[in-house]
């Protein structure tokens, strides 16, 4: 069979002066930055779902992309055709990783047995594709939200049989992820939330979710999976409210069930903004709570209230995110997965390349700028200086619990303290950052 | 001195047919609902700050109210005049409780000594006022956000001396609250957050806040304060981001520092909506997490993105909130504090009464409707029926940790389970609720 | 063929004490309110699209409703089966009107000829159905947004052939609407907007839209259509920005092209809130601009940023909207169309009835309360009193252009005017409204 | 008297490699870009109000800046001290323009006579200051929102005497603007809106506003003012709803009163985002409607729902805005006024310089990038190509009104048209823009 992207060659790095739209201008996989290659820093992945399981339909209209493998036909044959195109794309894009849901890669079938058999057969296919191409699996996951059975959630479903069905999918998806050398396993609770409080028992559903996650941890250890378990926060959509609202909410959930050492978060930029936070905030918060894991790289629209999943293109935003990640030591098993989709009008075959080439170049541009921020580290110095008082005698005494309200009140009164605020120097720091970003 | 509200008599219950705007139509303090009086259920309070410390100014304009006790003059004399008017108001309104910040009631002074002396003198005044009028203190708190010294926060300030100054105020405010019989002590972290991540150490600030809260708990036990400690969540404003974002975030914070048994939350309606949640959501969430404490009763504007602090007037919303509270057993030490302010154009003296009479009547109307919801309890039955499967064999086995992913996968495969979703009946339940609210 | 809703009888009015969920408690079609029947006031319609063209799928999952007429099969046979179910539903619901898009009722086909033939055949079917059941057409419209051809809009498309194709659909849809006795014709510009300004010529697209609307007006007059032309504002979704953003924006567009006497607006509650306005605001604004026409009755979710299209259930909101409409003289050709859809979990056949019965009852409840507001009309009196000065000498002189800045400046200086603000009495008016809504 | 900013010298351009925070790195006033100097392109102004009339207070706390001229004292002496500092600042910053409200520069006084006299005296002072320093007036305006008298608006006030008082201020402010050589006169309707629809007559208020604006136009022509009249849109804050919501709304208002040739808009970035639009959208929309005038350069916070008025610092956003302005021919009388304020923590005297130096540098950086976009103009070419069909026969015929719905329907049917969508190439264009912005 002719290749789907037969008009497109492998994407190469051609440097900043290239005018070839199908080339990298900034992403140079083996270029070293702060002692590691760009590829090692960024650990980028393309996703199966937006690229190969979606035909451009939205709530108001039909698909526009005309993907042949999504047309009616023999389900397994179409799944294999889809895998051919997917790996053709990953290879030509030279992206090192990919990600998938179980039913992205295999037909769901009409029974649990069909599901199991189809998925097993397609895992064989994927294993062979990985071997042929060298493309690796950043993470796997199970889709527990599309089938009508999950209309009221999976782990938080009022019906324990549906909980069990979801557990079955996760069982197989975790096993497949391990077999395929996946470096993480992700749980996004698409419909783990509520549509109306009128019919919902919040405490019951939270307990169910807690038990589900414990089972996931137990299974990980049982099968010896060495990757990281990740929860992906999102505040809403499709549900009115989703339980894994944001990083801080996930942290509280993990603490309640004693799971904070077992899970990290997979932060999506667009989910951050839907939750009322900046992307930068969510990354910095997760790092500060010790639960930072991986990134779903995309962007939302600042004026639209749904998950637009556009390709990331703000170097201003990405550079600060990357700075936080570099300061925290970089990714371990995580990476940047492009959970991004084409606009419905982007119906040329080349558009899928444009989206990813842009995303990869933008991350590379941000990496170079973040490295410059780390090297100069005027931000780190400003922060250290600002909090210097906490390394003094009083600061240390407070932090080591040597003081009570009463002893501090006595101190303040005795010494007639009248401490004054100092400038936070926000405008100055903002200027200095821009001078690095826009050289 | 003549009374400030000399044109206004004590507000009486006159029943639903009254056309007297200065009368209650629905709030009948001693009327029994589900075995308790309205007053016992609602435990309503008026606040000092919006009513007596604010002259109607906003960011774009000067004060409009012309409150004489806010004009220049001898600070202590003005504070006493303010207390006279406040207790005149509370008494005429027949509201059982009030709430204050330390520097609402006493002049801040120019030194810690002046602060302590002024506050002590005014606590004497308040104690006498409470005795004379029978008005009680629902809660006290300290203002750690208005003075320029707290521009970068109090507990989370980069300067440990400012932390100590804040601790000193809390020390005195907790002691005063105890002496005045306050039933709760509240902490709202007005500037405990950040303006820019560029100059902020999130982990450091969180540790400081944790230590501060532990000191508050230690002091509570030391002085034998029997009331409840409350944290009031808010997502932002005045800071770009506030650490006590919402109930779920506060829960995670409390769990991190082992404080989840020591604190509850004081939920403000307008803070809930600023955080992207419904008021109903925040109350139901706090109850489900076991940290529900008290309510700051007000409302925001659905189209405006700041804290408008309007008087609560949606019976539709309040009835569902009240239903949750009744189902959870009602308030213990908490209550409904009107953290609500007049519109800047509401410059008649009677307007302060209109705002509160409306608020009190609206809560009474909601209470009666919530009681009807509890008595019929079709919502409770619908929820019980919806989750009934979790009382069956499979549900119990899962919840008691008898199952693993593997055992559930085996079960689903063996029994060829193919569970189906059932209707969530949202539209039906919504109709039924409205039939109760609008008889 | 057995009826689809064979378990459900015609819905009857049973009064407020009925506990039958499949009965009206408040909507009593022939009950007179302010001299007209409820049916005459409300002019309610059910829509074809959400009820009969949608199977419950959303962006994250497949359909849940299992509608047999949406399954694969002979397209015209399925369209007729759909019409059977639709009119069975309208009749059992006793709703007097319905609304449709051209391709809701007829298969789009694979060519313009098929489209024309299919649509013509289905218009015959609809005509017969209307005659048999007495159900009338509130309005018709053409779907110029679902087919991939309209990905970049119809009237505002960069390709004039696509503009022409859209014009062709509107031509046939207007003709069909006239033949079926439709009382209005609606234009909703679903994709008349932009995804990115980078590829968009705003001025060009606006000119195209202006010409398109002029052609619609010309055609109306040519065929002698007596109904009203309506534009439905929406700010965004599916596009990033939609040109008919809100009523004020549509007004400016109409003025530019001299169309303000030819069009009115069809205001959707959820579109209003997506545009950052209250539903009340949009209705009051359209009335004040003289372009109020009809209502798409639904509601959004105050926390979600997309068009949730839920059934209207806030009596508080609907009563104020209805008050504005009554004060403006009521609908002429417009009415309340339930552009509302079931929740994806509402998969029982009865749920479609629950949604509409609730909607109809809620509008009836609101109508009764609005009538009470009109009868007492303390709001009207308060407004008249507030602006009374404009009936005085100075007010009249200003309004009749007898004054200039200079003459007013001279007057103010000469008379040493120092006018003072008076209370806006917002809290009082809010209390008074609630006393009417919640008797 | 010693200068307030005595530690700070005149700011000079030192080039991109300078590490001096008190120097320009990119703004080089006389550097030519596309044939004009940077100064001529940008026409930048500093504002009086945020810099010299505000002490750092917010709704939750007192001022932090300690500006001596804002302390109690002789009002006229303080106003002169303020002018000294303001012109010291403008001069040291080397910014060519400034802007003011009447009562920014002169004490309001206790009567209309005092207002007139104070303002006249201060206009003399400003005239002399301008002559001494060469700083010019970009625009003047009158503050019709801070005084309690304007609590319910000025032009839209229910009291015609208050309307007249506002007219008096505008009369004097327009005259002063002309005398001082101001190049524009601005009207921002801070409280021209409503707090609640319950007490508001929308139609009446709109008529008042229309008449007011006509009087402004008449006065302009009477005194021969050659500058541009500007309306500044804002959607809300301080009011719940402001009538000049956004550019499209202002356009409709102008059309209603026949004023669209007499007014242009002054677009503020933060007002755009509060209205649910991007800054880019508002500028492009105003240009497309022929009403673009000037810019209030600042930025909002994407997560906060109030007017944060931060200094502009997104080169990504500013470059696209500047591209639109350059393509439209650049400013005529308008310019970039920094309607931006320091963060409350920015209490060092140098911070006011940091904010403005950053803003000026950022606009210069954006100008250089926008010029590159104009020179390459791949965006212009892509747009021209995308709409090329409208220059063909069919497109021209439609635009010249040669077609009706009927003739187009006949054409489509006859020619069996089946036009297809083509790619909008959004991802490609976004990539290309970034390659220019981040060289």
Chain center to CA of B109 = 28
Tell me what the pLDDT averaged over chain C comes to: 98
Residue of chain B with shortest Cα separation from C310: B427
Instruction: Give the 3-state secondary structure of residue A104.
Output: helix
Tokens of B262: 């020591």
Is the CB of B425 less than 8 angstroms away from the CB of C351? yes
| CB contact set of A342 (below 8 Å; sequence gap of 6+) | A50, A56, A65, A351, A352, A355, D427
Cβ within 8 Å, pair A354-D431? yes
Q: State the pLDDT confidence band at A85, using cuts at 50, 70 and 90.
A: very high
Measure CA of the first residue to CA of the last residue in chain C; give whole Å.
Answer: 48
Record: contact C164-D412, CB cut-off 8 A: yes
pLDDT value, residue D351: 98
Helix (H, G, I), strand (E, B) or coil at D261: coil
Whether residue A303 is predicted with pLDDT greater than 80 in this model: the reply is yes
The rounded distance, in Å, linking the Cα atoms of A158 and A164 is 11
Q: Identify the closest residue of chain C to D207 by CA–CA distance.
A: C399
> Do C426 and B316 count as a contact with CB atoms less than 8 A apart?
no
Per-residue pLDDT reduced to its tens digit, B4-58: 999 999 999 999 999 999 999 999 999 999 999 999 999 999 999 999 999 999 9
Residue C291 neighbours by CB under 8 Å, 6+ apart? C247, C250, C251, C254, C260, C263, C264, C265
Residues in chain A: 439
| Nearest residue to C153 via CA among C203, C194, C200, C204 | C194
B interface test, pick of A102, A118, A161 with most B CB neighbours within 10 Å: A161
Residues D397 and D290 in one domain: no
Closest CA relative to residue B262, chosen from B191, B192, B318, B213: B213
Given a contact cutoff of 8 angstroms between Cβ atoms, the answer to whether A313 and A22 are in contact is no
3-state secondary structure of D337: strand
CB contact under 8 A, A238 and C145: no
Q: Measured between alpha carbons, how far is B386 from A197 in angstroms, rounded to an integer?
A: 13
pLDDT for residue D288: 98
- B384 inside domain: no
A403 in B contact zone (CB under 8 Å): yes
Beta-bridge partner residues of C299: C310
A191 and A297, same structural domain?
yes
- B319 with B404, same domain: the answer is no
In the residue annotation, D101 being an active-site residue is answered as yes
Of residues A59, A148, A240, nearest to C238 (C-beta): A59
Test the C interface: residue of A61, A63, A67, A200 with most C CBs within 10 Å: A61
Residues C322 and C412 in one domain: no
Of C376, C399, C415, which residue is a domain's last? Answer: C376
Does the beta-carbon distance from C315 to B316 stay under 8 Å? yes
Query: Where does the pLDDT of residue A439 fall: very low under 50, low under 70, confident under 90, or very high at 90 and above?
Result: confident
Q: Which of B272, B316, B348, B427 to mutate to test the interface with C (most CBs of C within 10 A)?
A: B427
- Binding-site residue positions of B for Mg(2+): 232, 268, 271, 296, 307, 309, 339
Domain shared by A331 and A400, yes or no? no
Any domain includes D132? yes
The tens digit of pLDDT for each residue in D279-291 reads 999 999 999 999 9
Q: Are residues A32 and A166 in the same domain?
A: yes
- What CATH number is associated with residue B231? 3.20.20.150
Who's near C354: CB < 8 A, 6+ residues apart?
B425, B427, B428, B431, C21, C22, C346
Distance CA D82, CA D68 (A): 9
In angstroms, the separation between the Cα of residue B328 and the nearest Cα of chain A is 12
C425 in Cβ contact with B348 (< 8 Å):
yes
D4 inside domain: no
Q: What integer pLDDT is reported at residue A164 of this predicted model? A: 98
**B291 and B319 co-located in one domain:** yes
Indicate whether A409 belongs to any domain.
yes
Please, which residues have CB within 8 angstroms of residue A120's CB and are 6 or more apart in sequence? Answer: none
> Exposed (0-12), middle (13-18) or buried (19+): which is C131, by Cβ within 10 Å?
exposed
Pair (A80, A201) in one structural domain:
yes
Judging by DSSP bridges, how do beta strands D193-194 and D241-242 pair with one another? antiparallel
Summarize pLDDT for B147-182 with one digit per residue, the tens.
999 999 999 999 999 999 999 999 999 999 999 999
The answer to whether the CB atoms of D160 and C390 lie below 8 A apart is yes
User: With contact defined as beta carbons under 8 Å apart, do C206 and C160 qualify?
Assistant: no
Among C331, C356, C376, which residue terminates a domain?
C376
Q: Are D358 and A430 in contact (CB under 8 A)?
A: yes
pLDDT tens for D217-275 read 999 999 999 999 999 999 999 999 999 999 999 999 999 999 999 999 999 999 999 99
Residue C54 placed within a domain: yes
Q: In which band, very low, low, confident or very high, does the pLDDT at D59 lie, cut at 50, 70 and 90?
A: very high
Q: Are residues B314 and B206 in the same domain?
A: yes
Contacting D residues, span 248-307, partner chain A, CB-CB under 8 Å = 273, 276-278, 281, 302-303
Separation of CA B407 from chain center: 46
How far is Cα C131 from Cα C10, in angstroms, rounded to an integer? 18
Report the residue of C67, C148, C150 to disrupt the A interface, i.e. the one with the largest count of A CBs within 10 Å.
C148
From D41, D101, D280, D281, active-site residue: D101
DSSP secondary structure code for residue D299 in this structure: B
- Number of cross-chain residue pairs from B and D with Cβ atoms under 8 Å apart: 91
* Catalytic residue of the set B102, B104, B244, B246: B104
Neighboring chains of D (3 or more beta-carbon pairs < 8 A): A, B, C
Instruction: Indicate the number of domains in chain A.
Output: 2
What pLDDT is recorded for position A2?
Answer: 73
According to the annotation, is D271 in a ligand binding site? yes
Query: Does position B432 have pLDDT exceeding 60, yes or no?
Result: yes
Distance from CA of D406 to the nearest CA of C (A): 6
CB pair distance less than 8 Å for A383 and B412? no
Domain boundary among A325, A343, A376: A376
The Cα of A203 is separated from the nearest Cα of chain D by a number of Å equal to 30
Among candidate residues C219, C247, C220, C246, the one with its CA nearest the CA of residue C235 = C246
C327 touches chain D (CB under 8 A): no
Q: Which helix H or strand E contains D264, and what residues bound it?
A: strand D263-268
Looking at the complex, does the CB of residue B35 fall below 8 Å from at least one CB of chain D?
no
DSSP state of B310: B
Do C405 and C264 share a structural domain? no
Which residues neighbour B399 within 8 Å (Cβ) at sequence distance 6 or greater? A207, A208, A211, B390
| Distance set, CA D15 to CA A311, D24, D369 (Å) | 34, 7, 16
Where does residue C313 rank: exposed (0-12), middle (13-18), buried (19+ CB within 10 A)? buried
Distance CA(A274)–CA(A238), nearest Å, equals 12
Quote the pLDDT of residue B439. Answer: 80
Closest CA to A311 of A265, A343, A281, A355: A355
Is residue A165 included in any domain, yes or no? Answer: yes
- CA A158 distance to own-chain centroid: 28
Do the chains contact at C16 and B422, CB–CB below 8 Å?
Answer: no
- Asked if B262 and B362 sit in the same domain, the reply is yes
The verdict on B55 and B184 lying in the same domain is yes
Helix (H, G, I), strand (E, B) or coil at D358: helix
Distance CA D179, CA D218 (A): 18
Nearest to A16 among D278, D358, D439 (CB): D439
Pick the closest to residue B333 from B141, B135, B142, B185 (CA basis). Answer: B185
Binding-site positions of C? 232, 268, 271, 296, 307, 309, 339
Check if A191 contacts C (Cβ < 8 Å). Answer: yes
Q: Say whether residue D342 is in contact with chain A using an 8 A CB cutoff.
A: yes
Question: pLDDT at position A70, please?
Answer: 97
Chain A contact present for D316, CB below 8 A: yes
Q: Is residue C7 part of a domain?
A: no
For residue B1, pLDDT over 60 is answered with no
Q: Residue D59: its chain B contacts at CB < 8 A?
A: 58-59, 238
Enter the ipTM.
0.97
Mean pLDDT across chain D: 98
Nearest CA-CA partner of B293 in B327, B320, B328: B328
Alpha-carbon span B211 to A343, nearest angstrom: 49
Taking residue C413's Cβ as centre, other Cβ atoms within 10 Å add up to: 17
Phi, psi of B230 (to 5 degrees): -125, 135
Does B2 have pLDDT greater than 90?
Answer: no
Which one of C104, C244, C246, C361 is the catalytic residue? Answer: C104
Q: What is the DSSP string of D159-202?
A: SHHHHHHHHHHHHHHHHHHHHTT-SEEEEE-TT-EES-GGG--H
What lies within 8 Å, CB to CB, of C209 at 6+ separation is C155, C156, C189, C192, C243, C253
With respect to residue A7, please indicate whether it lies within any of the assigned structural domains: no
Tell me C305's DSSP state.
Answer: B
pLDDT over 90 at C2, yes or no = no
Q: Which residues of A touch B280 (CB under 8 A)?
A: 197
C contacts of B432 (beta carbons < 8 Å): 21
Contacts of D6 (CB under 8 A, 6+ apart): none
**Bridge partners (DSSP) listed for residue C310:** C299
Q: What is the mean pLDDT of chain B?
A: 98
Binding positions of C for Mg(2+): 232, 268, 271, 296, 307, 309, 339
For residue B431, list chain C residues with Cβ-Cβ distance below 8 A. Answer: 21, 313, 354, 357-358, 361
Q: Which residues of D touch A276 (CB under 8 A)?
A: 303
CA distance C92 to C22: 10
User: Does D198 touch chain C if contact means CB atoms closer than 8 Å?
Assistant: yes
Task: Report the distance separating Cα A123 and Cα A137, nearest Å.
Answer: 12
Cross-chain residue pair D315–A313, CB shorter than 8 Å: no
Structure tokens at C212: 């398109």
pLDDT tens digit sequence for D416-433: 999 999 999 999 999 999
Beta-bridge partner residues of D264: D230
B58 touching chain D per CB within 8 A? yes
- Burial zone of B19 (CB within 10 Å; 0-12 exposed, 13-18 middle, 19+ buried): exposed
D246 labeled part of a ligand binding site: no
Q: Predicted confidence band at A103 (pLDDT cuts at 50, 70, 90)?
A: very high
Catalytic residue among D102, D104, D244, D246: D104
Distance (Å, whole) CA D53 – CA B198: 28
Q: Which of C152, C387, C401 sits opposite D204 (nearest CB)?
A: C387
Q: Which member of C278, C346, C432 has the closest CB to residue B302? A: C278
The reply to whether residue D195 touches residue C165, judged by beta carbons under 8 angstroms, is no
Coil, strand or helix at A132: helix
Spatial distance between the Cα atoms of C183 and C333, rounded to a whole number of angstroms: 6
Mean pLDDT of the A90-111 span: 98
Cβ neighbourhood burial of D68 (10 Å; 0-12, 13-18, 19+): exposed
Among partner residues D195, D248, D405, which is closest to C215 by beta-carbon distance?
D405
C187 phi and psi, to 5 degrees? -125, 110
Active-site residue, C246 included: no
Q: Residue D432 belongs to what domain range?
A: 392-437
Cβ-defined contact of C190 to A60 (cutoff 8 Å) = yes
CB atoms under 10 Å from CB of D9, counted, come to 10
Q: Give one word for C276, left, alpha or beta, with left for phi > 0 and alpha for psi -120 to 50.
A: left
pLDDT of residue D2: 73
Predicted structure pTM score: 0.98
Report the DSSP pairing between strands B136-141 and B97-101: parallel
Q: Give residue-wise pLDDT tens across range C385-394.
A: 999 999 999 9
């Amino acid at each position: 069979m002719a290749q789907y992207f037969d008009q497109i060659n492998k994407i190469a790095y051609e440097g900043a002066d290239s005018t070839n739209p199908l080339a990298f201008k900034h992403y140079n996989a083996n270029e070293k930055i702060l002692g590691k290659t760009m590829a090692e820093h960024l650990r980028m992945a393309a996703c199966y779902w937006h690229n190969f399981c979606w035909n451009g339909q939205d709530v108001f209209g039909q698909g526009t992309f005309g993907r042949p493998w999504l047309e009616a036909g023999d389900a397994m044959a179409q799944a294999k055709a889809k895998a051919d195109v997917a790996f053709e794309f990953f290879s030509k894009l030279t992206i090192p990783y990919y990600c998938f849901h179980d039913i992205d890669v295999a037909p769901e079938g009409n029974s649990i047995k069909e599901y199991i058999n189809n998925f097993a057969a397609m895992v064989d296919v994927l294993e062979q594709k990985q071997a042929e191409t060298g493309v690796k699996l950043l993470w796997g996951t199970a889709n527990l939200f599309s089938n009508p059975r999950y209309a009221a959630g999976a782990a938080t479903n009022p019906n324990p049989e549906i909980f069990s069905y979801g557990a079955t999918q996760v069982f197989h998806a975790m096993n497949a992820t391990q077999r395929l050398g996946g470096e993480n396993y992700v749980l996004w609770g698409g419909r783990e939330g509520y549509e109306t409080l009128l019919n919902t028992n919040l405490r019951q559903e939270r307990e169910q979710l807690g038990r589900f996650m414990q089972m996931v941890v137990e299974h990980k250890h049982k099968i010896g999976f060495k990757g990281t378990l990740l929860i992906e926060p999102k505040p809403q959509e499709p549900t009115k409210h989703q339980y894994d609202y944001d990083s801080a909410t996930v942290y509280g959930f993990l603490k309640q069930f004693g799971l904070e050492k077992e899970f990290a978060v997979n932060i999506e930029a667009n989910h951050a903004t839907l939750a009322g936070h900046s992307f930068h905030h969510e990354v910095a918060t997760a790092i500060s709570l010790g639960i930072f894991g991986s990134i779903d790289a995309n962007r939302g629209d600042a004026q639209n209230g749904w998950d637009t999943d556009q390709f990331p293109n703000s170097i201003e935003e990405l550079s600060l995110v990357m700075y936080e990640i570099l300061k925290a030591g970089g990714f371990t098993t995580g990476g940047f997965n492009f959970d991004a989709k084409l606009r419905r009008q982007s119906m040329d075959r080349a558009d899928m390349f444009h989206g990813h080439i842009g995303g990869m170049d933008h991350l590379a541009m941000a990496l170079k700028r973040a490295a410059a921020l780390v090297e100069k580290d005027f931000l780190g110095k400003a922060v250290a200086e600002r909090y210097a008082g906490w390394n003094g005698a009083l600061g240390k005494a407070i932090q080591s619990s040597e003081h009570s309200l009463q002893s501090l009140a006595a101190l303040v009164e005795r010494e007639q303290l009248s401490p004054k605020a100092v400038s936070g120097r926000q405008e100055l720091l903002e200027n200095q950052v821009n001078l690095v970003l826009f050289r």
